Amino acid sequence: MAIFYHEQEGLFHLQSKDMSYVIQLVHGYPAHAYWGKRLSQHGNLTGLIRYVERCSFIPNSVPEDNSISLDTLPQEYPQYGTGDFRTPAYQIQLKDGTRVTELKYSTHRIVQGKPALEGLPAVYAEDGDDVQTLELELRDEHLGLTVVLSYTVFGAFSAMARSVRFIHNGKEPFRILKAMSASVNFQDADFEWLNLHGSWTRERHMERRPLGHGSTTAQSRRGASSHQMNPFVALLRPNADEDQGDVFGFSLVYSGNFEAEAEVDQFDTTRVSIGMNAFDFSWLQLPGESFQTPEAVMVYSPEGLGGLSRTYHKLYRTRLCRGAYRDRERPILVNNWEATYFDFNADKIEAIATSAAELGIELFVLDDGWFGKRDDDTSSLGDWIVDRNKLPQGLGDLAERVKSQGLQFGLWFEPEMISPDSDLYTKHPDWCLHAPERRRTEARKQLVLDMSRQDVRDYLFESLSAVLESAPISYVKWDMNRNMTEIGSALASAERQSETAHRYILGLYELLERLTNKFPEVLFESCSGGGGRFDPGMLYYMPQTWTSDDTDAVERLKIQYGTSIVYPISTMGSHVSAVPNHQVGRVTPLETRGDVAMSGNFGYELDLTVFTEEEKAIVREQVSVYKEIRSLVQQGDFYRLRSPFTGKGNETAWMFVSEDRTEALVFYFQVLAVPNAPMKRLNLKGLNPEWTYSVEGLDSLHGGDLLMQAGLHLPLFHHDYASKWWKVKAVQE
C-alpha cells in the first residue's frame, strides 16, 4: 500500500489492498481519473481523462484550451457558478450575497497514519497499521478560503476514508450552504443503484434499480440517519451479484441529516456525492475558524456485494468500533420490555432474572419505566431518578439481587428526550428544541432536548453518571424514540438557527465521548425505536445497535439480511420474543426464532417465568449452543447464500466462516411450507476448496470444493417458519 505523487504529471496514485484511486491535477483543478481494481505503477495513467471540445453551451473554463470545461471535467470537489452545471460538492454564500467561489490546488501532504477528525467519529488507525493519508489543499485566493480534501487508504482493506475541512483565512464572514464529504465522477453510467430503505419495524430493506438520467437520491431530513433511509448507497455494474462484479460503496459516518446522490448527465457520466444534507442547513464561518465535514468511507469490491460487505464488516468491527467490547464476546441477555412493559416491581424483575440464570443467560436488562413517575409513556423523561414506588430499595438493591443470581445488570435510558409532564420540563421549558411562538409538536408524548446546548449536555452527563455510579451497571441501552421538529435553539442567534440540527449531533457525540470514557467497562447499545439510527457514527461510541423493534423471526430475515450489506454482525442486537409476535401477530416456532436471533448478538425479550418445561429445555439448549458459536458469529466472515428479497422471498440462508476457514456455521430458513416440494441443495461459500470438512449430522466427510460447488441437501419441511443449521469443521488428516 502506498500513495504516490508524480510531480511532473500532477498525478496522485492511491493504492490499497486490491484497489487504486487516481487523481490528476488539470490546470489546478483536482480531477478524478480512476477508481477500481489495483493498477501497477508502470503504466501511463495520464491518459485516463479525455478532453473534447463541446458546443457553446459548455463553458470554456480554461481560455487557452477549449477542450477543458468544468461542466465535463470529472472533478474531485466541484463548485457551482463557474461553468459546472452539475451537482456541486459544496456551496458558499459571501457577505455580499454572491455564491461564486473557485478552488484550485495549492499544495499537498502525504502523512503516515490517519489524523483524527475534530468532534466527529471516524475510522482510525492503530500502531502497526499500513495506513497513509493524502491531504490535498485547495484555495480560493479571493475569498481567503482553504479547503483540505483528506483521503486515507488502508493497506489491509480495499477502502478509502474521505472528509473535507474548510479553513477561513479571509477577512469577512461567509456561510457554508453545502459541504459534502466526498464526490466521485465516473466516466460512464452503466450502473445500478442500491440503497437500504424502510420504516419503523421494517428497516434496511434492499432496493436495487438502474440509474437513469438526472438524479437518484437517498436522504434523511428527520434530524437522524432514520429508519426510512440508511446513510449508505452502492453503485453496481449490471452483471454484479453477491459473488462477482464491480461494486462501489459509499457509507457516511454520521448520525444526522444526510444525502447521497448519483447524477447522470447529458454525456452519460455519473457524479456520486455523499455527505450532510444541505436541506435547512447553513453554517456561519468567521475568520480564523474551520469547519469539518463528517467522514465518508468508500469501498471497492470486484467480488460483488459479498466482498463489499466483508470489507465493511472487518473495517467497521476493528477500526470504527472501539472500547473494551470491540473484540470481546457479547453477553446473552434478557430484556424485560415485552415481558412487563411498564408494569413491574423488584420481585417480578428478580423472578425473571432467576429464571434467566437457570437457563444460562448472562445479563438482565431493565427497560423503560424505572424512573420518575413512569407508569406509561406520557411522563418523566428527563427525570433520571429511580421510582421508589416500583423499586423502594433503589437500583443498587435490584442490581445486587440480579447479580446474586449470577447475572450482570443493565439499564435502559432515553437521555435525548424530555416529557412535558416532567420535573425537568417544569424547571427548564426552554431546554427542548423549539421555535418562538410556535406549537411544540409532540411524538410519543415527548419533545427533543436541545443537545446543541452545553448546559443540557452537562445536566445529562451528571444525572446519567449518578445513576451509573449508584449500582453495578454493566450495560446501557440508549434509546431515542422520535425525530426532530421545530428545529431551533433558545441559545442560538438568528443567524445561526440553521446550524442547530448539526450542532445537536456534534453535542450528542461530545456527550457520548465523555460518558464512554468515564465508564469504559459499560457495554453501550444504541437504539432509536430499533434501527432508526443504525449508522457508523453511533457505532464509534456504541459497538452494537438494537436492529429493529420488530422481533418477528420472519420479518427479521429481511431486516438482518439488509443490515448485513454494510454493518458487521457484531453490531446487530437480535432477540427472541414471545408469540403471537407483538408487532405482526405471527406465531413462529421457538427453534426458528432462536436460529434467527443467534445470527446476531443473542438475547430474549419475553417473560421467562411463564415458560413450560419443554420451552425451558429449548432455551437452555439455545443458550448453551450460542456460547459455543458466538465468537464465530460475532467475529467470523459473513456470507449471504440466499436472499429474502429475490423471487418469492420464501428462502433465506447465510453462513459464518472463521478467518482461518477451519470452521463454519450455515443457517437456512424457509418461510412457508411447499407441498410436494422439489429437492434442493444449498451451495456454501468461503471454505478452502482443497480441505476436507465434516458436517454435523452427516456421516460422511466432504471436500470444501464439493460443499461449495454441489452443496448440502436441504431438508423437506412440512410446516411453516422452519429453519435448519449445520456446523462445518475442517478435518485434520
- SS3 for 606-668 is CCHHHCCHHHHHHHHHHHHHHHHHHHHHHHCEEEEEECCCCCCCCEEEEEEECCCCCEEEEEE
Known catalytic residue at 368: no
**Beta strands, E only, 414-496:** 417-418, 447-448, 473-478
CA distances (Å), 142 to each of 146, 168, 415, in order? 11, 12, 45
- The phi, psi pair for 706, rounded to 5°, reads -65, -45
Nearest-angstrom CA–CA distance, 21 and 228: 32
- 446 phi-psi bin (left φ>0, alpha ψ -120 to 50, beta other): beta
Q: Is 214 exposed, middle or buried (0-12, 13-18, 19+ CB in 10 A)?
A: exposed
CA distances (Å), 492 to each of 173, 450, 498, 719, in order? 17, 11, 9, 60
CA-wise closest residue to 599 among 576, 566, 565, 624: 576
Other C-beta atoms closer than 10 Å to the C-beta of 457 total 20
Q: Is 328 exposed, middle or buried (0-12, 13-18, 19+ CB in 10 A)?
A: middle
- 212 phi-psi bin (left φ>0, alpha ψ -120 to 50, beta other): beta
Nearest-angstrom CA–CA distance, 145 and 166: 7
Nearest-angstrom CA–CA distance, 356 and 604: 9
- Determine which one of 383, 450, 479, 550 is catalytic: 479
One-letter amino acid identity for 282?
Answer: S
Helix (H) or strand (E) holding 577: strand 572-577
Nearest-angstrom CA–CA distance, 689 and 599: 25
Contact yes or no for 246/237 (Cβ under 8 A): yes
- Determine which one of 450, 549, 552, 595 is catalytic: 549
Known catalytic residue at 376: no
- The phi, psi pair for 589, rounded to 5°, reads -60, 145
Residue 572's SS3 state is strand
Q: What would the grid cell of residue 292 be?
A: 469539518
Contact yes or no for 454/427 (Cβ under 8 A): no
Other C-beta atoms closer than 10 Å to the C-beta of 157 total 27
Active site residues: 479, 549
